[in-house]
Chain A
Amino acid sequence: MKLDFDNEKSIYLQIAESIEDDIIKGNIDEETQIPSTNHMAVIYRINPATAGKGINLLVDRGILYKKRGIGMFVTIGARKIIQDDRKNNFYERFITTLLEEANNLGIKTEEIIEMIRKGGRSSE
């Protein structure tokens, strides 16, 4: 989990995203428990209601579930849910900003594609 937030988005969204990141990267496995709302509130120095709001967002999306009297757990299949959601948002999140900046700098689409090819090769 990260320890700081930026101004760009509401804190509860960033809490949710940070947990998602950990699930996607495999830092938190499916069927394991996540830190309690209380614990997160103290660590992040935020109002517990805000931490709860972030966690509820993930419960609503079927990524977390509550085990009564124990705490919050990652559902089986959570990783897939997050990946699918993020693939859907990929264009909006990355391509739009990429094209905007490229447009400001006068970079042509072919040049962008070439850059992506180069980047792809080096990471393969």
Chain B
Amino acid sequence: MSEFILETKALNKSYGDVKAVRDFTVGLERNKIYGLLGRNGAGKTTFLNIISSRIFADSGEVRLFGYNAVENQEALAKICYMPEKDLFIETARVSRILKDAAIFYDNFDMEYAQRLCKKFDLSTGKKYKALSRGYESIIRIVIGLASRAPLTIFDEPVLGLDAAVRDLFYRELIADYESNPRTYIISTHLIEESADVFEEALIIKDGMLVEKLPVDELKEMARYVSGKASVVDDAVSGMNIVHSEMVGNVKICAVFERLTDEKLRMLASGGADVSPVPVQKLFIYLTEQNQEVVK
């Protein structure tokens, strides 16, 4: 059996002329938390819809828990996918939705779901259509966490939630992950606050997987180099530059590659300043449409 619980090979999906997912090949391991990071329209949701068999790819293969995923009930029963929208019956009450979830997901823990409702202040007597945007997110969080599904997928789980509730979600996820390890895929564009929750980041741009790296490494690979233009140009020559700008007479470049101690010393040797790049900025540079390439 494969070491991966989810494996895709050369997935492609187009809508008319738009290639939503392109040549997407990836393998995800058991019991890791993955962040799926991409800008609006990058193909995150299409990718998630394909791996959960909500839609079908034009070409390519999805294997879940070692099985071909297409219409394979055994494999699909191990997934809980909480999409961003279009999921529940408008007129159903929260309590009804939870009961349905308990039937649908084999490992669903109703007692835990009830505790989560209290923690997140979600009243189970309310009808779904009466919930505010924030509580629409919360009911997805409750079901996703309580499903205890071996592969739990959240698409933009914290939309419409204030900072305190987002914080509660991340902590709850980590706490439950410890006692009930499973694989998570969490798509988000709020990277700064969630990056450290992920073990690995999958960065998607124009439907393609551009990076798949442990978050630690991702951060260690990026540095700002700034100083006099000539000094900076010398320091970064031959390196992978993902961003560059002038602030007055000072040039600031962001480099992104495996930085050995020797390379770090080289960067600083000419008198240039070397400093870390915040992860949200790095994400912007990696997914920018027009990366300025400096020679």
B264: interface (CB < 8 Å):
no
A42: interface (CB < 8 Å):
yes
Residue of B nearest to A41 (CB): B174
Q: A38, A48, A53 — which one has the most chain B CB atoms within 10 A of its CB?
A: A48
User: For the complex, would chain A's binding face be called helix, strand, loop or mixed by DSSP majority?
Assistant: helix
B4: interface (CB < 8 Å):
no
Question: In the docked arrangement, what's the CA distance between A5 and B197, Å?
Answer: 14
Contact: A46 with B197, CB < 8 Å? Answer: yes
Residues in A1-48 with C-beta less than 8 Å from chain B = 5, 7-12, 38, 41-42, 44-48
Contact: B276 with A47, CB < 8 Å? Answer: no
What residues on B are CB-neighbors of A56 within 8 Å?
A: none
Residue in A11, A48, A53 whose CB lies within 8 Å of B177: A48
Given the interface pairs A7-B278, A47-B197, A50-B196, the reply to whether A42 lies near B174 with Cβ below 8 Å is yes
CB distance from B37 to the nearest CB of A (A): 15
Contact: B167 with A47, CB < 8 Å? Answer: no
What residues on B are CB-neighbors of A107 within 8 Å?
A: none
Number of interface residues of A (CB under 8 A): 18
Question: In the docked arrangement, what's the CA distance between A79 and B196, Å?
Answer: 29
The contact sample of 13 A-B pairs, CB cut-off 8 A, is A7-B276, A8-B276, A10-B219, A41-B174, A42-B171, A45-B174, A45-B197, A46-B174, A46-B196, A47-B196, A47-B198, A48-B178, A50-B196
A49: interface (CB < 8 Å):
yes
Given the interface pairs A45-B197, A48-B174, the reply to whether A11 lies near B276 with Cβ below 8 Å is no
Residue in B175, B196, B278 whose CB lies within 8 Å of A11: B196
Residue of A nearest to B172 (CB): A42
Residue of A nearest to B181 (CB): A48
**List of 4 A-B pairs having minimum Cβ-Cβ separation, nearest first:** A38-B178, A46-B196, A7-B276, A47-B199
B215: interface (CB < 8 Å):
yes
What residues on B are CB-neighbors of A11 within 8 Å?
A: 196, 216
Question: In the docked arrangement, what's the CA distance between A11 and B196, Å?
Answer: 8
What residues on A are CB-neighbors of B196 within 8 Å?
A: 5, 11, 44-47, 50
User: Footprint of B on A, CB under 8 Å?
Assistant: 5, 7-12, 38, 41-42, 44-50, 53
Contact: A47 with B215, CB < 8 Å? Answer: yes
Residue of A nearest to B214 (CB): A49
Given the interface pairs A7-B278, A8-B276, the reply to whether A45 lies near B167 with Cβ below 8 Å is yes
Q: B171, B174, B178 — which one has the most chain A CB atoms within 10 A of its CB?
A: B174
What residues on B are CB-neighbors of A8 within 8 Å?
A: 276
B104: interface (CB < 8 Å):
no
Given the interface pairs A47-B33, A47-B198, the reply to whether A42 lies near B216 with Cβ below 8 Å is no
CB distance from A104 to the nearest CB of B (A): 11
Question: In the docked arrangement, what's the CA distance between A53 and B46, Å?
Answer: 34
What residues on A are CB-neighbors of B88 within 8 Å?
A: none
What residues on B are CB-neighbors of A45 within 8 Å?
A: 167, 170-171, 174, 196-197
What residues on A are CB-neighbors of B33 within 8 Å?
A: 47
Residues in B204-227 with C-beta less than 8 Å from chain A = 215-216, 219-220
Residue of B nearest to A49 (CB): B199
CB distance from A13 to the nearest CB of B (A): 9
What residues on A are CB-neighbors of B216 within 8 Å?
A: 10-12, 50, 53
What residues on B are CB-neighbors of A46 within 8 Å?
A: 174, 196-197
Question: In the docked arrangement, what's the CA distance between A50 and B278, Å?
Answer: 18
CB distance from A46 to the nearest CB of B (A): 4
What residues on A are CB-neighbors of B178 within 8 Å?
A: 38, 41-42, 48
